[in-house]
């Protein structure tokens, strides 16, 4: 029991080092320095999400069938490959390998960390503590990223070798806690006769069945995917947007550091918000605030743009642990990582399509019109889905 209790602390230790990507607020600038256009950068990001779309569910099955720890170890190997390829890359093809490695590391981590934490707590009859624990995990991740963004700005002023060399070193350190983590007890997957891939097909069908049987999770999942995809575009293209507003890479790194530190606070108080408000009230009011700050991000003055960006990011940081806790209650241990990977797959598919399209769009119409178009599309999709669900529910009644 004590060893399993230590699992949570070892997971915290691992997450801190695993999130130290010192280029996180600067990689668009780095690729621009290497001569890539916004369109090419968008294509690279699309390759990253193509890898996620292709491998998200299979790697989620790895975590459910063979163990969460196995999945995390493999994912960390791809973290090392990402840092190495970015360090030595000078051509579009080599950068493609780097981004494919990043996509694969995301798939092996996706769902595995959350499933590892939930099953560990379940073994101790502490499921009610999950939102607090996942909030702490999110807070540590954001704290780590904030530190990486802050230090990355200074490293980039020295040389990009410092940025990617340090990334490789920290992900070697991330392997250490993985060696001491113990796989939590969980239900064994159903045995399926036939070849090995029959087990995988069966696992995929179980994940789809969770979606079919639990219509209550449809709205949160769809809205979370849409908002997350929009936020990815704002965060990464926002790097160059802030540069065009006249801010230096050090200032950009500082802005993203503040964003991460505020996110730490939001993630830590998420369980308190969950206890005080009903889940769907949080969902709908959060959506309204997201739209409000998105409008301000586009049309406000320079300083208000930065503030709006910070508020937008905090809404996602606050909601993510609450969303994860809500979905987890509908999942069995044998399908937990697989279903979370299905959510990740859909999110990555949306980003894979929208990210390069946005890159090509802003090359032609600029950032303001590009973000305005993104806002309109998000509003139409989110509002249209909610209305269609209301109509569908009314017809059934």
From CA 397, how far away is CA 393, in angstroms rounded?
Answer: 6
Question: Is there a contact between 40 and 87 (Cβ–Cβ < 8 Å)?
Answer: no
Mean of pLDDT values over 374-380:
94
| Closest to 339 in 3D by CA, of 55, 53, 56 | 56
Residue 191 within a domain: no
Average pLDDT, the chain: 85
> For 2, which DSSP code?
H
pLDDT bin (cut points 50, 70, 90) of residue 189 is low
Q: Which domain holds residue 259?
A: 2-182+199-396
**Residue 112 to residue 124: CA distance in whole angstroms:** 19
With a cut of 70, say whether residue 143 has pLDDT above it: yes
Cβ contacts of residue 396 below 8 Å, gap of 6+? Answer: none
- Once rounded to an integer, what is the mean pLDDT over residues 189-202? 60
- Classify residue 91: in a domain, yes or no: yes
Contact 229, 350 (CB under 8 A): yes
- On the question of pLDDT at 56 being above 90, the answer is no
Q: What is the pLDDT of residue 164?
A: 93
Say if residues 31 and 153 touch (Cβ distance below 8 Å).
no
257-277 pLDDT tens trace: 788 788 888 988 998 999 999
Report d(CA 82, CA 334) in Å as an integer: 30
Q: Is 21 left (phi over 0), alpha (psi -120 to 50) or beta?
A: beta
User: Distance from CA of residue 370 to its chain's centroid?
Assistant: 23
At 348, the pLDDT band (50, 70, 90 cuts) reads confident
> What pLDDT band is residue 390 in, cutting at 50, 70 and 90?
confident
More confident residue, 248 or 199: 248
User: What total of structural domains would you count in the chain?
Assistant: 1
* pLDDT above 90 coverage of the chain, percent: 31
Output the pLDDT for position 1: 46
User: What's residue 305's pLDDT?
Assistant: 86
Nearest alpha-carbon partner for 54 in 121, 100, 96:
100
Confidence at residue 196, expressed as pLDDT on a 0 to 100 scale: 52
Asked which of 139-148, 158-167, 365-374 is least confident by mean pLDDT, the reply is 139-148
CATH of the domain at 12: 1.20.1250.20
Spatial CA neighbour of 109 closest among 344, 351, 352, 353: 344
Cα separation, 125 vs 345, in Å, equals 30
- Does 203 reside within a domain? yes
User: DSSP assignment of 208-233, as one string?
Assistant: HHHHHH-GGGHHHHHHHHHHHHHHHH
> Within a domain: residue 188?
no
Its pTM stands at 0.75
Residue 207 near residue 342, CB atoms below 8 Å: yes
Whether 286 maps to a domain, the answer reads yes
Residue 337 lies in a domain: yes
Provide the residue count of the chain.
397
Give the span between the Cα atoms of 341 and 347, in whole angstroms.
10
- Give the model's confidence band at 2: pLDDT under 50 very low, under 70 low, under 90 confident, else very high: very low
Confidence check: pLDDT of 192 > 60: no
Q: Please tell me the predicted confidence (pLDDT) of residue 3.
A: 45
Per-residue pLDDT tens over the stretch 333-344: 778 887 888 888
The reply to whether 192 falls in a domain is no
Least confident of 38-52, 91-105, 206-220, 369-383: 38-52
Kindly state the average pLDDT of the residues 154-182: 91
Residue 332, domain member (yes or no) = yes
Angstrom distance (rounded) from CA 243 to CA 250: 10
């Amino acid at each position: 029991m004590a060893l399993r209790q230590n699992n949570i602390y070892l997971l915290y230790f691992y997450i801190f080092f695993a999130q130290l990507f010192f280029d996180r607020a600067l990689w668009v600038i780095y690729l621009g320095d290497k001569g890539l256009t916004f369109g090419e950068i968008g294509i690279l990001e699309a390759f990253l999400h193509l890898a996620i779309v292709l491998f998200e569910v299979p790697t989620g099955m790895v975590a459910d069938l063979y163990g969460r720890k196995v999945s995390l170890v493999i994912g960390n190997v791809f973290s090392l490959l990402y840092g190495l390829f970015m360090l030595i890359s000078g051509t579009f093809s080599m950068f493609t390998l780097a981004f494919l490695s990043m996509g694969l590391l995301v798939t092996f981590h996706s769902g595995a960390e959350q499933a590892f934490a939930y099953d560990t707590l379940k073994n101790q009859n502490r499921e009610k503590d999950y939102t607090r624990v996942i909030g702490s995990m999110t807070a540590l991740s954001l704290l780590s990223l904030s530190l990486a963004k802050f230090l990355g700005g200074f490293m980039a002023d020295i040389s990009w070798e410092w940025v990617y060399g340090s990334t490789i070193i920290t992900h070697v350190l991330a392997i250490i806690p993985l060696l001491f983590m113990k796989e939590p007890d969980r239900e064994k997957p159903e045995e399926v006769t036939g070849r090995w891939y029959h087990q995988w097909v069966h696992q995929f069908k179980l994940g789809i069945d969770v979606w079919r049987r639990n219509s209550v999770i449809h709205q949160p999942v769809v809205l979370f995917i849409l908002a997350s995809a929009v936020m990815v575009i704002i965060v990464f293209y926002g790097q160059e947007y802030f540069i065009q507003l006249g801010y230096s890479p050090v200032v950009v790194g500082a802005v993203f550091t503040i964003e991460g530190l505020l996110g730490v606070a939001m993630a830590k108080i998420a369980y308190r918000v969950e206890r005080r408000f009903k889940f769907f009230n949080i969902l709908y009011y959060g959506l309204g605030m997201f739209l409000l700050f998105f409008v301000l991000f586009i049309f406000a003055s320079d300083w208000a743009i930065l503030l709006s960006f910070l508020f937008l990011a905090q809404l996602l940081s606050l909601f993510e642990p609450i969303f994860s806790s809500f979905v987890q209650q509908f999942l069995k241990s044998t399908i937990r990582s697989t279903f979370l990977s299905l959510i990740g797959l859909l999110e990555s598919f949306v980003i894979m399509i929208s990210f390069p399209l946005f890159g090509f769009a802003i090359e032609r119409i600029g950032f303001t019109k590009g973000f305005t178009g993104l806002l309109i599309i998000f509003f139409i999709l989110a509002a249209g889905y909610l209305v269609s669900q209301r109509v569908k529910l009314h017809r059934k009644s």
